[in-house]
């Protein structure tokens, strides 16, 4: 309920601090409320307006301790968009404000500006009407994908549509080719964050690239090999230390390149929420088209694609021969993925690699109740969102799967382990010239 305290308390005394108030997207922050009466009930609220104009909010209900303090990192939320001790609940539990249209997914388009979040304190345990109330205190927090000193370089050579992100400093740095999935577009935020952690990362648009838009033809293997060469030949990149990271359809490309390309020689590969099932001789277009015919819908008319590749074929011409892989492979799997049969695919890859004798190269991270879109930490979970495949003009509501708390935990854990895996494989081994990453 609402408690009444002398009005002068409200005006002057509530202290709110967020540390750091400017940080990377995957950094934790500490939210402290001080100087309220002991036992005071309050709501800590986060508000973010996306670049597309949609507003998102999250909030937790807290009770001040005997000293009149609330520490969001240590104290439990008693209600709101998250409950319990959740240091970063104000970010990962963000949901569109009441009255928003359905199917929204939060994605940063311009990585050269921060995500701004307003953290506020309200009196009492509130659940709605925040815009109509006066906050007791408020502070604006900046969350960046690009660390200070990271350089963003658009790449158009060799017909590529790509952006290179270079870490601060002279380098040379290990390189990474970053591929997203079937929605196309040039998506930069993950690459920017990887560069903030010391890797020269090339975000590549391979489905809606300028060349495809102009000619109507989808790109072939040579496009990915050209992207690899741009990294390999860059003066600030260690040409012998390059990785590939793919999500969803990007996994199909990553596995194919890693197994069969004569040009692409990887130190390691990371595949998130994808599969090795694809016609080995097939082009990007055939792989995409093949996956559109066996679509089913749930009762809310959301598209479920995970059955398309099931059962996992036994015909070797219908899947990448992962037994050929010679570099370490990290598979990240959400066991509630409704978009791709990632768990079944991972188990089949494991079996294939055991038969071929290269399973020592395989690491599988599998997360119960996590969905398809396993993104950098604290990215709000979208169980379903509107999606336009490159192949179809109409928009769908795609069901990605996942349960918010489990999915958020998975994002945090997978990102931490992915960074460790990349560092061990890209910096490890013999090369005194590699930049130290003790400070990253």
For the segment 360-382, what is each residue's pLDDT rounded down to a tens digit?
999 999 999 999 999 999 999 99
What is the structure's pLDDT at 179? 97
Asked if pLDDT for residue 412 goes beyond 80, the answer is yes
Task: Give the residue with greater pLDDT, 381 vs 317.
Answer: 381
The percentage of the chain sitting over the pLDDT mark of 70, rounded to a whole number, equals 92
Task: Give the residue with greater pLDDT, 158 vs 297.
Answer: 158
Give the global pTM. Answer: 0.92
The pLDDT of 46-67, averaged and rounded, is 97
What is the structure's pLDDT at 287? 67
The pLDDT of 425-432, averaged and rounded, is 70
What is the structure's pLDDT at 439? 35
Mean confidence (pLDDT) of the chain:
91
Q: Rounded distance, CA 386 to CA 388, Å? A: 7
Exactly one of 93, 201, 248, 291 is catalytic; name it. 248
Separation of first and last alpha carbons in the chain: 45
Burial track 186-206 (b if 16+ CB lie within 10 A, e otherwise): bbbbbbbbbbbbbbbbbbbbb
The pLDDT of 36-57, averaged and rounded, is 97
pLDDT in tens, 197-206: 999 999 999 9
Q: Rounded distance, CA 267 to CA 252, Å? A: 18
Contacts of 4 (CB under 8 A, 6+ apart): none
Please indicate whether residue 337 is annotated as part of the active site.
Answer: yes
pLDDT band, residue 291 (cuts 50/70/90): low
Q: Rounded distance, CA 255 to CA 267, Å? A: 13
Which sign, positive or negative, has the C-alpha torsion 348, 349, 350, 354? positive
Exactly one of 75, 178, 336, 337 is catalytic; name it. 337
Neighbours of 282 (CB within 10 A): 16
Return the half-sphere exposure (C-beta side, CA atoms, 13 A cut-off) of residue 9. 12
Asked if pLDDT for residue 404 goes beyond 60, the answer is yes
Q: Rounded distance, CA 188 to CA 205, Å? A: 10
Please indicate whether residue 132 is annotated as part of the active site.
Answer: no
Task: Give the residue with greater pLDDT, 233 vs 278.
Answer: 233
Asked if pLDDT for residue 15 goes beyond 70, the answer is yes
Asked if pLDDT for residue 318 goes beyond 70, the answer is yes
pLDDT in tens, 209-253: 999 888 988 898 999 999 999 999 999 999 999 999 999 999 999
pLDDT band, residue 300 (cuts 50/70/90): confident
The pLDDT of 19-39, averaged and rounded, is 97
What is the structure's pLDDT at 37? 96
The percentage of the chain sitting over the pLDDT mark of 90, rounded to a whole number, equals 78
Q: Rounded distance, CA 36 to CA 40, Å? A: 6
Q: Rounded distance, CA 152 to CA 200, Å? A: 10
What is the structure's pLDDT at 431? 44
The pLDDT of 325-341, averaged and rounded, is 96
Asked if pLDDT for residue 292 goes beyond 90, the answer is no
Burial track 113-128 (b if 16+ CB lie within 10 A, e otherwise): ebbebebbbbbebbee
Please indicate whether residue 248 is annotated as part of the active site.
Answer: yes
Exactly one of 125, 276, 372, 407 is catalytic; name it. 372
pLDDT band, residue 39 (cuts 50/70/90): very high
Domains assigned to the chain: 15-144 (2.60.40.2240), 151-427 (3.40.50.1820)
What is the structure's pLDDT at 353? 98
pLDDT in tens, 107-145: 999 999 999 999 999 999 999 999 999 999 999 999 999
């Amino acid at each position: 309920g609402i408690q009444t305290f002398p009005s002068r308390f409200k005006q002057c005394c509530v202290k709110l601090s967020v540390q750091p108030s400017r940080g990377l997207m995957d950094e934790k922050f500490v939210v402290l409320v001080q100087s309220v009466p002991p036992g005071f009930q309050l709501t800590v609220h986060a508000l973010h307006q996306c670049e597309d104009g949609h507003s998102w909010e999250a909030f937790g209900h807290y009770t001040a301790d005997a000293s009149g303090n609330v520490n969001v990192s240590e104290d439990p939320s008693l209600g709101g968009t998250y409950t319990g001790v959740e240091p970063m609940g104000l970010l990962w539990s963000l949901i569109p404000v009441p009255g928003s249209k359905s199917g929204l997914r939060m994605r940063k388009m311009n990585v050269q500006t921060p995500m701004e979040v307003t953290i506020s304190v309200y009196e009492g345990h509130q659940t709605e009407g925040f815009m109509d109330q006066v906050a007791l205190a408020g502070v604006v927090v900046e969350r960046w994908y690009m660390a200070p000193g990271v350089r963003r370089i658009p790449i158009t050579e060799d017909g590529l549509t790509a952006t290179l992100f270079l870490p601060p400093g002279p380098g040379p740095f290990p390189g990474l080719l970053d591929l997203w999935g079937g929605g196309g577009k040039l998506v930069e935020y993950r690459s920017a964050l990887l560069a903030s952690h010391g890797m020269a990362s090339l975000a590549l648009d391979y489905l809606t690239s300028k060349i495809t838009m102009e000619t109507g033809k989808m790109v072939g293997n040579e496009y990915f090999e050209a992207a690899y060469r741009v990294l390999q030949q860059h003066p600030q990149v260690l040409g012998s230390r390059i990785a590939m990271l793919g999500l969803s359809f990007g996994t199909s490309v990553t596995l194919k390149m890693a197994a069969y390309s004569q040009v692409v020689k990887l130190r390691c590969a990371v595949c998130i929420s994808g599969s090795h099932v694809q016609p080995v001789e097939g082009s990007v277009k055939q792989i995409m088209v093949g996956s559109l015919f066996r679509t089913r819908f749930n009762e809310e008319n959301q598209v479920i694609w995970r059955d398309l590749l099931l059962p996992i074929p036994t015909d070797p011409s219908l899947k990448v021969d992962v037994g050929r892989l010679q570099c370490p492979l990290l598979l990240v799997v959400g066991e509630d993925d409704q978009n791709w049969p990632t768990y079944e695919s991972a188990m089949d890859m494991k079996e294939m690699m055991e038969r071929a004798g290269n399973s020592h190269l395989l690491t599988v991270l599998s997360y119960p109740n996590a969905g398809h879109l396993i993104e950098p930490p604290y990215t709000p979970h979208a169980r379903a969102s509107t999606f336009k495949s490159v192949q179809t003009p109409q928009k769908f509501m795609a069901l990605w799967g996942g349960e918010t708390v489990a999915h958020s935990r998975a994002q945090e854990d997978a990102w931490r382990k992915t960074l460790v895996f990349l560092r061990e494989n890209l910096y490890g081994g013999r090369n005194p010239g590699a930049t130290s990453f003790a400070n990253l």
